[in-house]
Amino acid sequence: MASRRMAVCLIGLVSLLVACKENGTGPTAPCGFGSSCAGNQQLANLSLSPLFDTLLVGDKAQIVFSATNSSGAAVSGITVTYKSSDTAVAKVDTAGLVTAVSAGASTITIAAGGLKASSHLTVLTRSLVLLSSAADYSCMVLTLGRGYCWGQDGTGQLAASAPTTCFDSASASLSPCATSPIAMSGGFRFVALSAGGVVACALTTSGVAYCWGDNTFGELGNGVGSGAASTPTKVSGALTFTGLAAGAQHVCGLATGSRVFCWGSDSFGQLGDTGIVNSTTPIPAESAGVVASFTSVTAGAAHTCALKAGGVAYCWGANVTGQLGIGTVDANEHSSPVQVLGGHTFTALTGGGTHTCGLTSAGAAYCWGDNSAGETGNGSAGGPQPTPVLVVGGPSAGFKELSAGDDFTCGLSGSAVYCWGSNADGQIGAGAGVTGGNILVPSKVSGSLTFSYVSAGKRHACAIITAGAGAACWGSNLFGALGNSLQAAVSGVPVVVGTPLI
């Protein structure tokens, strides 16, 4: 009796790569193990890539295989069959194109000439994890760190080439825009995101900062003070960051070591380096006695604020409307951190156009600075508030997150969003057709959607729908900032942002 040829298998720790010679006298396919083909055409090894892959529901990926003889030379003319272990999770066609169907795990196996090779595929739900709204545009990050932006793109702030133009009624001209999300260029994976006036920045998993958009004042931090970039550009230097905040024309980041570094325009001292000189690379925001131990940073149009350990707030930069919270209103440049008055301790700060708000551990909101549209939420509109005032009339449960926009503010309470301040473009979300005027106390955003995060921009706001199921925006849609494939209309009710989430 002929001896039995046993299978020879190479199995990885999680069965991700298998090269297995089948039992028997040889394969059914020509030129495989045990065949009579010429030696240089006998298939000895079969492999595929990627060995590991993680996709989002709806993604497609191409399997690529390699067939070699015992000398390692490529073998041509190999016909491969493909199989998915769970077609409810992922399907694979006869050409090796994989389609992610639903969340879960599946093994993709190829076979040829009596050999097999497999890879492990994980499919994740396509969900929204980061969101930031700015001056007529917004950006978001999905699972796996994939970035998308939509809205106005005059200076590359969408991090990609805008696919269309929108009519700007104010200037009677066309401006590049995207009325639904488009993928950021560069293929980066981001874990933090901040969109500002005409510049946006994000962090990679290793804490490296990248910025895109306008660079007139060095906002990109790449050592150049001109031009613009529509692709994320690495910030110069070896610093790593744990947080970022983009203002109108400057950016600040919280670096490892609890120090704040800023770059870009310094017209009002918003870089915090005790001078009034623009910087194209990160410089420390420090003054005597105020150096490290910062825990977070936020940026307004031309001012910056940060929290120190213990929750004490410091601000610097422009103070023309009292946005620094230091008890005065003046046109001076405040080029180093100054403590906010009032004796409050905060868990978070948010900088708006010309006002600032802070959140306490008890969920109370305090705001200071410009109050011409009621953006401080104290029940009145009028002159500046140079020290923190309590936001009144809000939800009894208090707030768990705040976001200051240009001349309005929003906060998250439970799964509902409340906004106050200017409603000129429906940015308060007070209801269909409800625009104009000022809302002086927190008003619940209309509609039936529930939210887990909110971000206020120039004249629109966006929020993450509960469980990351998508995003919804309300307010001005002049440049497609609502992301619903339309342009030049306002909405006082949240509208769901389109692709890539739906």
Q: Which pLDDT value is given to residue 500?
A: 81
The topology under which CATH files domain 8-124 is: Immunoglobulin-like (2.60.40)
Give CA–CA dist 325/338, Å, rounded. 9
* φ/ψ of residue 314, rounded to 5: -130, 145
Neighbours of 163 (CB within 10 A): 13
Distance of CA 104 to the CA centre of its chain: 25
Cβ neighbours for 393, distance < 8 A, ≥ 6 positions apart: 377, 379, 441, 442
Give CA–CA dist 217/348, Å, rounded. 28
Q: Which pLDDT value is given to residue 166?
A: 95
β-pairing, 52-56 with 115-124? parallel
Instruction: Pick the closest to residue 134 from 80, 222, 196 (CA basis).
Output: 196
* φ/ψ of residue 492, rounded to 5: -90, 5
Q: Which pLDDT value is given to residue 416?
A: 98
Tokens of 376: 């401080």
* φ/ψ of residue 393, rounded to 5: 75, 15
Q: Where are the beta strands (DSSP E) in 313-374?
A: 313-317, 334-339, 348-351, 355-359, 365-369
Instruction: Pick the closest to residue 45 from 24, 74, 16 (CA basis).
Output: 74
CATH architecture of 128-496: 7 Propeller (2.130)
Instruction: Pick the closest to residue 388 from 292, 286, 317, 312 (CA basis).
Output: 312
Long-range contact set of residues 83-89: C-beta below 8 Å, sequence gap at least 24: 83/108, 83/109, 83/110, 83/111, 84/108, 84/109, 85/109, 89/121, 89/123
Q: In degrees, to the nearest 5, what angle opens at C-alpha 70 toward C-alphas 69 and 73?
A: 45
| Residue ranges per structural domain of the chain | 8-124, 128-496
Q: Which pLDDT value is given to residue 279?
A: 97
- Residue 364 DSSP symbol: -
Tokens of 167: 């009519």
Low-confidence ranges of the chain (pLDDT < 70): 1-41, 288, 502
Q: Bridge partners of 473? A: 462, 495
Q: Which pLDDT value is given to residue 42?
A: 79
Q: Bridge partners of 203? A: 192, 209
Q: Which pLDDT value is given to residue 9?
A: 29
| End-to-end CA separation in angstroms for the chain | 63
- As a 3-state breakdown, the chain gives helix, strand, coil percent values, each rounded to 5, of 0, 45, 50
Give CA–CA dist 333/302, Å, rounded. 10
Instruction: Count Cβ atoms within 10 A of the Cβ of residue 328 and give its class: 0-12 exposed, 13-18 middle, 19 or more buried.
Output: middle
Neighbours of 74 (CB within 10 A): 10
Tokens of 419: 């906004």
Q: Which pLDDT value is given to residue 499?
A: 84
Region of 323 on the Ramachandran plot (φ > 0 left; ψ -120 to 50 alpha; else beta): alpha
Tokens of 314: 């410091």
Is the torsion defined by CA of 249, 254, 256, 260 positive or negative?
positive
Helices H, strands E: what count in the chain? 0, 40
* Contact by Cβ (8 Å): 275, 266: yes
